[in-house]
Amino acid sequence: MTASILLALTACGDKDNTGDSGPAETDVFGEFIYVTTTPTAESGEDLSSCYTPGDDWLAQTPDASCATEHPFKGTIEDFQEGTGVADADLELFFGDRYEEGAADFSTTSDASGDVSGTLMACTPTTYRVYTDPALDETKITIQSHEVFANTAGAELGVDFNSVSSTTYNIIPGLLGITVQPGQGIVAGTAFGCGGDGDPVQFAQIIVRDEEGNYLEDYSMKYFVEEFPSRDQEWTSEDGLWVAVNIPPGRVTIEMWTYDGTDHVLQGETSMDIVPDSINIANIFTGSGGENGGVIYPESCLSACEG
């Protein structure tokens, strides 16, 4: 049983619903989602200003003229240090789904970590960054639902994340968790209304598989002042969360809060987990379904030049 489940059981009491006989039945949702503090109580983030839980997901409609090829120049940067990563392979997937061997664009960084090429503006994109696995310097890093702004044909400056093997192991180590071979890590931020929303405090995160079943054997942890915490049981003011030991396959990450009466689903995002990878994806209030986690820049929402 994971550390997060033990914390949940301590907070909520017995959730087995077993009565006096028969085997215990696991209430996965109840083990992960149990906070009874509303996100507006202390954080000041009024989620109801943009979304009412239970309504259809909010929709953004980018202008078709904005989804154009764009030259870009940028750097593959170490996620922790912010320094360039040399000889790193970059793959872009304009369908926003990672698929082995099916990248729409690929290139390799130079000695300074710099890359250049062509991407699709205003088009949800998943990218993968990796280096020679024999060197064990970095882990496969996959970022989902990235949307690049339209700059009217001008070269776009953009940076791409790469997570070192050291960082990949440090966070679970600080949390007292062992990363299992073949599993993945997912990390992100819970955000409020729209792309400019503040991080959401008092949210809890849960993971389900492609069939809609909630996963059991993983650890969900949160941060305090952008530092991983063993004891934090929901998002703090930074909104950061991390899920460790997620099995490969398509998963959906859900954000739940408490409205004073019930636990309510505020947003979700989906991604494809590959073995021994770290995945980055954010959750936005009111964003879910097919476009969960996709937020368009303002430049994509009206007609574009060039």
220 and 235, same domain (yes or no)? yes
38 and 83, same domain (yes or no)? no
199 and 218, same domain (yes or no)? yes
**Sole residue written with tokens 């679970």:** 172
Confirm whether 53 is domain-assigned: yes
Domain boundary among 162, 184, 204: 162
Domain boundary among 104, 133, 162: 162
Confirm whether 120 is domain-assigned: yes
Confirm whether 301 is domain-assigned: no
- CA gyration radius, the chain: 20
pLDDT at 17 over 60: no
For the whole model, what pTM was predicted? 0.88
pLDDT at 120 over 90: yes
Structure confidence at residue 210 (pLDDT): 94
What is the secondary structure of 235-247 as a DSSP string?
A: --TT-EEEEEEEP
Confirm whether 296 is domain-assigned: no
pLDDT digits (tens, 9 = 90+) for 19-74: 344 444 578 999 999 999 998 766 667 788 889 999 999 999 999 999 999 999 99
Cβ neighbors of 20 (< 8 A, separation 6 or more) are none
Kindly state the tokens that stand for 280.
Answer: 């980055």
176 and 47, same domain (yes or no)? yes
156 and 172, same domain (yes or no)? no
Domain boundary among 162, 181, 207: 162
Beta-strand ranges (E) seen in 96-226 are 105-108, 114-120, 125-130, 138-146, 156-164, 184-193, 204-209, 219-224
41 and 176, same domain (yes or no)? yes
Structure confidence at residue 184 (pLDDT): 95
What domain range includes position 213?
3-59+168-291
Average pLDDT, the chain: 89
Closest CA to 131 of 166, 158, 165: 165
53 and 172, same domain (yes or no)? yes
Give backbone dihedrals phi and psi of 49, rounded to 5 degrees, phi first: -70, -20
Structure confidence at residue 170 (pLDDT): 87
pLDDT digits (tens, 9 = 90+) for 175-205: 999 999 999 999 999 999 876 678 999 999 9
How does residue 80 score in pLDDT terms, banded at 50, 70 and 90?
confident
Confirm whether 148 is domain-assigned: yes
Determine the residue type at 271.
Answer: M
Say which CATH number the domain at 90 has.
2.60.40.10
Q: How many domains does the chain divide into?
A: 2
Cα separation, 190 vs 202, in Å, equals 10
Confirm whether 138 is domain-assigned: yes
146 and 89, same domain (yes or no)? yes
User: Which of 1-15, 48-62, 192-206, 247-261 shows the lowest per-residue confidence on average (mean pLDDT)?
Assistant: 1-15
pLDDT at 115 over 60: yes
